[in-house]
Structure 1
Amino acid sequence: MSADWPLETNLGDMSRRLGFFKNLQRVTTKIHGTSNIDEIILEMSEDICELFHSDRLTIYLISDDRKSIVSKVKTGLASHQEIRLPISEQSVAGYVAATGKAVNIRDVYDDRELAGHSPRLYFLKEVDQRTGYRSKQMLVAPIVNAQNGELLGVVQLINNRSDIPFPGVADEGIQALAQTLAVAFAQRQKERPVLKGKYDALVSDAIISSAEFELAQRSARRKNSSLEEVLRMEFQVELPAIGASLAKFFGVPYEPFQSERIRPIDLLKNLKRDYAEANHWLPIEETSEGVVVVTIDPERLKGSRMVNNIFPKRRIVYRVTTQRDFSQLVDQFFGALSNIDSVGDLLSGLDDDEVGDTPGSNAEVLSAAADNELVRLVNKIIVDAYQKGASDIHIEPRPGKEKTLIRFRRDGSLAPYIEVPASYRSALIARLKIMSDLDISEKRRPQDGKMKFKKWGPLDIELRVATLPTAGGMEDVVLRILAAGEPIPLDDLGVTPHNLERLKDVIAKPYGLFFVCGPTGSGKTTTLHSILSYINKPETKIWTAEDPVEITQKGLRQVQVNKKAGLDFATVMRAFLRADPDVIMVGEMRDKETVSIGIEASLTGHLVFATLHTNSAPESINRLLDMGMDPFNFADALLGILAQRLGKRLCKSCKTAYQATPEDIQLLLSEYCAEMKDTAQWQADAQAAIERVRQEWLARYASEGRFTLYRARGCDACAGSGYKGRVGLHELLIGTDRLKRQIQEHARVAELLTTALNEGMHTLKMDGIEKVLSGVTDLKQVRAVCIK
């Protein structure tokens, strides 16, 4: 063994052991004797490394929300960015914080050794990858208040300078050091220094170190920016922490922004937006204490007496708030401004070399994600997508130095929107994860979340967010803009008169089971809400279980499914049966339990609606039977199945009319009648069946025996595509007695289809061709969504 460190030569040598603890005693005495713990741990960090013969030292303190630990002392790392780790097994220090156990690891890259501590323990390699440093040995201990067992932080030593494991006596030493730090930190919590500045409490409360605070001040001066903005953006200091610091300095309570706050019309009647922004104060409510006024500088406002001049003879109660909270409050009371920069201007503000593409710590990625230009760009992307009528936003990073592609899906088709510099791809993904409350450190597994954009931008919309790891260590993000709003009246849904009459008859039944089926994004939920709106009467109790709740309407009792909380569709369905329902709507039936409860409910006097992910109405029957449903109960319960697709609608502004030739009509007839070849009419006389269809078309769609069709042209309104909006294509299967007998006999899909056609069902393609004759769409779009 090396003789560099006494503890590594002969652990049985008491004199050397005593020498180590004597030096440890000097360090602990110095820590106990200081009045400024922040300065002493910075000064003593090198002494601690020397004592333990360690290459690096990191001391973490627990965050305000007690969900993570934050680095306050680091040796050997040039970056001033804090390291924030969740209290979990995603990192060694996080594991120690979570379990309260000290660890002595020989090699943090040895997965087998890590598994010996916990099967889920993981070492974060990102910092090593960025700096080229190789972490190996690690000695880590929790800092715990001995009086109440409260976790205060973690002390971590990295790499023995002799490149051998830390010896056993070092285990004792680091735990003694952790106890000393615990006493010092606990004492500091009791003794608060006199505050000289608005943000001094951030240092005294260990939110940031004094060195980091000085860096923030210099950065604010250099960038000509506010100190609050630098603390938030560059050092990730949370708004509640800044507000708490302001409250201690001014001696008044902190008032955070509240999105549900009611606008006080009476108090605001004499105030204008420009005045509020210039003088930084607003009244928020009147209580028994007086008029509550929110401001970013209570002392200045009290001295000016401008509030007393506007509200004479009334008592004023002051609250302090942050600049960010105040800006949101102004937008809330006076309306958000729409002066968002153009995409080109925002992109030009992103320097392609400003953020390195080498993987770094979460703190550095977060800092880039909080960059003001990037924040505005993300907001602009979402606002543009909404205003352009996009249903989805696709973020597609590409490897190397290729730019990240962003595409919008409009009317079912993807089109490029912008490209973002490659160096910002990690920060862009991190920003979206932050907005969606997803784990930014998890990049190896898909994640799902939801974003309330009102919290971050000027629109009151929600987005469903999905991340997916892709080749080359990339991550794609897809955002679905949820179509919140009122239900479309059933008569305006675009259902042909043939289907609409039959649909109204079915949903007027007092009990039974009705399905709407189709792929994702085919408008199933919209159709179900139109149906519910049609039957929504004061005497009817309607329960819905949805994920997410997109459309709301009066009279419905709507439940948001929350799988993380154990509230899945089956659980909600069972609860509905005890809540005296007349009608139940289930957002999705994909498992045997949910379908079984639906059948049970329909057979006991309830009308049940649900959606299915299947291709056609007859196929849905076999899918449900394959789940293990009792064919007799299912057949008794079934009222009908509506299959649905969305095709592109011809742009009303530019579609061009033309007289259909006999060849055009013959083509439509052949496409239409190809669906009827197994029906009784076709088998009896094919030509008579074709002629019967022709005569129906002449009576319904022709004028003076001539058909007018339309073709796409393209204009500014439809961005040159010729199509704008969507049209629904429907296939309605009714649960007739003959069809129910076939279900009980496990008939094949082809047999079910033939029976349904014989009894008047129109297939998706037949319905689409009728909409071609109506001038709503063209045959190309019908074929695109009805292909078999």
Structure 2
Amino acid sequence: MANAEISLTLDDTDSAPISEAQYQARIQAIGNRLNAANNLGEALINLKDEICELFGADRITVYVVDGVKRELVSRFKSGNEVAEIRIPVAQTSIAGYAALKQTLVNIKDAYDQKELTAIDPELQFDSSWDRRTGYRTKEILAYPIVYQKYLMGTLELINRKGDGEFGSVEARALQELSKIMGVALYNQKRIAARGGRTNKYDYLLENHLLTQKELVKAIADAGQRKEPVSAVLMKDFKIPKKEIGSALEKYFKTNFIEYNGNYPIPGDLMAGLKVPFMRNNIWVPLKSEDNKVVIAVDNPHDLKKIDEIKALFPGRPVTFYVSLKQDILDFIKLFTQDEKELAEIDDILSQLQVESDEVEEAETGVGEEDSAVVQLVNKIILDAYSRNASDIHIEPYPGKMNTQVRIRVDGSCTIYQTIPFSYKNAVVSRIKIMSDLDIAERRLPQDGKIKFKKYGGKDIELRVATIPTQGGLEDVVMRILAAGEPIPLDKMGFSKRNHKNFVSVVTKPYGLIFVCGPTGSGKTTTLHSALSFINKTETKIWTAEDPVEITQRGLRQVQVKPKIGFDFAAAMRAFLRADPDVIMVGEMRDKETTSIGIEASLTGHLVFSTLHTNSAPESITRLLDMGMDPFNFADAILCILAQRLVRTLCKTCKRKYHPSREEYDELVREYGEEDFKSTLNIEYNDDLQLYKPEGCDLCGNTGYRGRMGIHELLMGTDDMKKLIQTKAEMAKIRGQAIHDGMRTLKQDGIDKIFQGHCDLLEVRKVCIK
């Protein structure tokens, strides 16, 4: 450093030069105070004005390395608008680039992309912080904080006060301050490591998620409010639950488990346990692993409590996980939640234990309304209904393996509960009794329905199927039928084009409309929404369904019964003699039904139906292969709507982020580059934002909650009708449909990704093209 005088602007009004000796003295004084401080964060708070004044900077940010996630975390910053900034150690940000390359970065204008690109093609400035706070970042001077070979963080100065830019003098000064700060940070970590963990939350201090002063305040506040310290840390200091979990894992040296509303109920472990005892002592059994019992407890170091719990599981090894008090209470509530007069699950399973001698055969001991088996089946149905499940799977296993109960929520199966192996026959038989099935017949599949109102109070209807499985057992699958009012057509998630075109055809006086997709893709719901749209006094609407799931006033709905010969074709023939305007038939699965549907549409009726096909163009080739007359079919067809249900991001916890160029290019490639430019035409820039799943209590920490439709609407245009008449290949039909304006299922899904409803992973799960 030259021995000339160094001119450092002290603030907007004071620009008196100081000598190098004075400058060195001030840097050394700052270093001494940092090294002497017990808490670096508190020292920085006291020194922030002095540091900014010395460098003539408006703001200072100190990033430290999060040793767990390999991210830079803003340990200290002089602006108060944003609580915390997290950035990766990568060349995608200025502080991240300085840390990764361990070099000085001096930016004259953070918004000048050419200046950033000249340093590194991937270097960017995230302007979202400025937009959120109203602050305008311009000059940035950044340098890594390193001790020997260890990266400790990054020191960043923002906006030079007055005129001018950060020069070589400030750069050398910053390098010297960074060295001092590196020593201070290293010493702090070394002292913490040498002293051992004496506090549950030392991990939060070491990783700069919390200051000692904040922790002392949190402990004091928790004592006054009679709340756990963890609750105060999450509520008042915004410490994420996962970080508190990591702190507890390090301290107790065991796994941390947080509450999940979809956690499978360990029915076999809950049997015989007293709920008040678990609540008072804050513990709960979670699962069995290789004959080992896993217990969640708030304090695994409480030896008295540990010994009491072990005594309840004699002869079995017990493993203890740590969890938060409220999470354990929530688990207990989940595992034992009550419904009106129903007994709690532990009482039910205790009764099953008592009744084991009586329930030796499937046919005995299950007919009494007060039996534990009856209560257990009722509880399974009510719990699944309360969790918005669409299906319940009862899965018995041979030998002494427990029966597994799984439920499907938003299209994904999760384990709900385990039932002791000795009651597998009793549970299946009880469900068969409720469904009016033959309990003695175990060799053939059977199907029936349960009207649950007469058993459990709530007006729930279930479709039941039993299937013989190996080992002389039977699986039961119960589908909870979607009762209630149809969803309005404008709430179905249609794009503007699809909504406009679909409404234009459902209001036509005659023609044929198909909705296609696999089982559970929402076809019936869409048809009922369309019928609701045209359900007027002057319109006579007949429907043939199997089963009737959604009921609407004004519709004349018929349940088909194939066993007695009253199938869809017979129902349609009957409808044509009953003066209809509109006919809806549940499915056209054979030539006869389809032929009657086409004839009905050609004789002045509007006909709705469903098909099990993968896409709208495939439906045309499927129907022609069925033997339909291509000229009649071409005349009749109005549109074919293919649809899928895609899991949507949880509205409560989904998180905005700026996608990388590679991620954007992948979305464009999946959509089709030409189609993307002509339809969406969304450009990649700094303001582009997508959403990603985060996870919260409401979505069971999955990041997803609910589903929405993605659609592919093929219109029966004149050009399309010509192709149908000539029995054209599917590729030509598809090409014509796209020319007519059809978006494929994947394209509609990608459009909804850019709207912030879902992500590419979920769209790929439900469609190929």
- Structure 2 length-normalised TM: 0.54
Q: What is the identity, as a one-letter code, of the residue corresponding to 1:535?
A: I
What's 1:509 paired with? 508
CA distance in 2, matches of 1:708, 1:760: 27
Q: What is the identity, as a one-letter code, of the residue corresponding to 2:400?
A: K
What's 2:588 paired with? 589
CA distance in 2, matches of 1:455, 1:631: 50
Question: Given that residues 390 and 411 in structure 1 are in contact (C-alpha distance below 8 angstroms), is that contact kept between their aligned partners in structure 2?
Answer: yes
Q: What is the identity, as a one-letter code, of the residue corresponding to 1:340?
A: L
Question: Given that residues 365 and 426 in structure 1 are in contact (C-alpha distance below 8 angstroms), is that contact kept between their aligned partners in structure 2?
Answer: no
CA distance in 2, matches of 1:738, 1:599: 20
Q: How does 1:614-653 map to 2 (within 5 A)?
A: 614-653=613-652
* Deviations 1:363-384, CA, capped at 9 Å, x for gaps: 43646x8661111111000000
Residue 705 of structure 1 deviates from its aligned partner by 7.2
Residue 663 of structure 1 deviates from its aligned partner by 2.8
* Deviations 1:508-538, CA, capped at 9 Å, x for gaps: 2111000000010110000001111111122
What's 1:735 paired with? 716
Q: What is the identity, as a one-letter code, of the residue corresponding to 1:351?
A: Q
Question: Given that residues 353 and 423 in structure 1 are in contact (C-alpha distance below 8 angstroms), is that contact kept between their aligned partners in structure 2?
Answer: no
SS, match of residue 391 in structure 1: strand
* Deviations 1:557-606, CA, capped at 9 Å, x for gaps: 11111223332111110011111111111111101111011000000000
What's 2:23 paired with? none
* Deviations 1:300-342, CA, capped at 9 Å, x for gaps: xxxxxxxxxxxxxxxxxxxxxxxxxxxxxxxxxxxx9724333
What's 2:176 paired with? none
Q: How does 1:360-379 map to 2 (within 5 A)?
A: 360=361, 363-364=363-364, 366=366, 372-379=371-378
Q: What is the identity, as a one-letter code, of the residue corresponding to 1:345?
A: D
Q: How does 1:349-428 map to 2 (within 5 A)?
A: 349-351=351-353, 354-355=356-357, 360=361, 363-364=363-364, 366=366, 372-428=371-427
After superposition, the Cα gap between the structure-2 partners of 1:520 and 1:352, relative to the gap in structure 1 and judged at 3 Å, is farther
What's 1:562 paired with? 561
* Deviations 1:339-361, CA, capped at 9 Å, x for gaps: 43333332233218815897x4x
After superposition, the Cα gap between the structure-2 partners of 1:444 and 1:376, relative to the gap in structure 1 and judged at 3 Å, is same
What's 1:484 paired with? 483
CA distance in 1, matches of 2:354, 2:517: 43
SS, match of residue 351 in structure 1: helix
CA distance in 2, matches of 1:628, 1:597: 13
CA distance in 2, matches of 1:671, 1:370: 56
Residue 749 of structure 1 deviates from its aligned partner by 1.2
For the pair 1:754 / 2:735, whether they are aligned, the reply is yes
Match of 2:751 among 765, 770, 773: 770
Q: What is the identity, as a one-letter code, of the residue corresponding to 1:627?
A: M
Q: How does 1:545-560 map to 2 (within 5 A)?
A: 545-560=544-559
Question: Given that residues 337 and 458 in structure 1 are in contact (C-alpha distance below 8 angstroms), is that contact kept between their aligned partners in structure 2?
Answer: no
* Deviations 1:225-244, CA, capped at 9 Å, x for gaps: xxxxxxxxxxxxxxxxxxxx
What's 1:780 paired with? 761
What's 1:36 paired with? none
CA distance in 1, matches of 2:676, 2:372: 63
Q: What is the identity, as a one-letter code, of the residue corresponding to 2:509?
A: P
Q: What is the identity, as a one-letter code, of the residue corresponding to 2:441?
A: E
Question: Given that residues 518 and 644 in structure 1 are in contact (C-alpha distance below 8 angstroms), is that contact kept between their aligned partners in structure 2?
Answer: yes
CA distance in 2, matches of 1:495, 1:425: 44
Q: What is the identity, as a one-letter code, of the residue corresponding to 2:721?
A: K
CA distance in 2, matches of 1:552, 1:338: 27
Match of 2:707 among 692, 717, 726: 726
CA distance in 1, matches of 2:602, 2:489: 26
CA distance in 1, matches of 2:349, 2:481: 27
Residue 690 of structure 1 deviates from its aligned partner by 4.7
SS, match of residue 609 in structure 1: strand
SS, match of residue 531 in structure 2: helix
Q: How does 1:183-202 map to 2 (within 5 A)?
A: none
* Deviations 1:435-455, CA, capped at 9 Å, x for gaps: 000000110000000000001
For the pair 1:340 / 2:342, whether they are aligned, the reply is yes
Question: Given that residues 365 and 430 in structure 1 are in contact (C-alpha distance below 8 angstroms), is that contact kept between their aligned partners in structure 2?
Answer: no
* Deviations 1:372-400, CA, capped at 9 Å, x for gaps: 11111110000000000000000000000
Question: Given that residues 357 and 422 in structure 1 are in contact (C-alpha distance below 8 angstroms), is that contact kept between their aligned partners in structure 2?
Answer: no
Question: Given that residues 648 and 777 in structure 1 are in contact (C-alpha distance below 8 angstroms), is that contact kept between their aligned partners in structure 2?
Answer: yes
Question: Given that residues 536 and 542 in structure 1 are in contact (C-alpha distance below 8 angstroms), is that contact kept between their aligned partners in structure 2?
Answer: yes
Residue 497 of structure 1 deviates from its aligned partner by 0.9
Residue 710 of structure 1 deviates from its aligned partner by 0.7
Question: Given that residues 397 and 475 in structure 1 are in contact (C-alpha distance below 8 angstroms), is that contact kept between their aligned partners in structure 2?
Answer: yes
Please tell me the root mean square deviation across aligned C-alpha atoms, in Å: 2.0
Unpaired runs of 5+ residues, structure 2, are 1-337
Structure 1 runs (4+) greater than 4 angstroms displaced? 355-358
CA distance in 2, matches of 1:653, 1:492: 20
Question: Given that residues 393 and 407 in structure 2 are in contact (C-alpha distance below 8 angstroms), is that contact kept between their aligned partners in structure 1?
Answer: yes
SS, match of residue 571 in structure 2: helix
SS, match of residue 364 in structure 1: coil
CA distance in 1, matches of 2:701, 2:680: 34
Question: Given that residues 543 and 558 in structure 1 are in contact (C-alpha distance below 8 angstroms), is that contact kept between their aligned partners in structure 2?
Answer: yes
Question: Given that residues 355 and 423 in structure 1 are in contact (C-alpha distance below 8 angstroms), is that contact kept between their aligned partners in structure 2?
Answer: no
What's 1:576 paired with? 575
CA distance in 2, matches of 1:355, 1:779: 53
CA distance in 2, matches of 1:533, 1:760: 26
Question: Given that residues 523 and 646 in structure 1 are in contact (C-alpha distance below 8 angstroms), is that contact kept between their aligned partners in structure 2?
Answer: yes
After superposition, the Cα gap between the structure-2 partners of 1:352 and 1:416, relative to the gap in structure 1 and judged at 3 Å, is farther
CA distance in 2, matches of 1:713, 1:476: 35
Aligned-residue sequence identity (percent) comes to: 61
Residue 693 of structure 1 deviates from its aligned partner by 4.1
Q: How does 1:185-224 map to 2 (within 5 A)?
A: none
Residue 706 of structure 1 deviates from its aligned partner by 2.6
* Deviations 1:666-716, CA, capped at 9 Å, x for gaps: 211111007xxxxxxxxxxx5xx5533453x35xxx9x9732211111111
Unpaired runs of 5+ residues, structure 1, are 1-335, 675-685
SS, match of residue 472 in structure 1: coil
Q: What is the identity, as a one-letter code, of the residue corresponding to 1:338?
A: K
After superposition, the Cα gap between the structure-2 partners of 1:372 and 1:636, relative to the gap in structure 1 and judged at 3 Å, is same
Q: What is the identity, as a one-letter code, of the residue corresponding to 1:449?
A: G
What's 1:671 paired with? 670
What's 1:50 paired with? none
What's 1:302 paired with? none
Residue 626 of structure 1 deviates from its aligned partner by 1.5
SS, match of residue 653 in structure 1: coil
For the pair 1:601 / 2:600, whether they are aligned, the reply is yes
SS, match of residue 584 in structure 2: strand
Q: What is the identity, as a one-letter code, of the residue corresponding to 1:713?
A: E
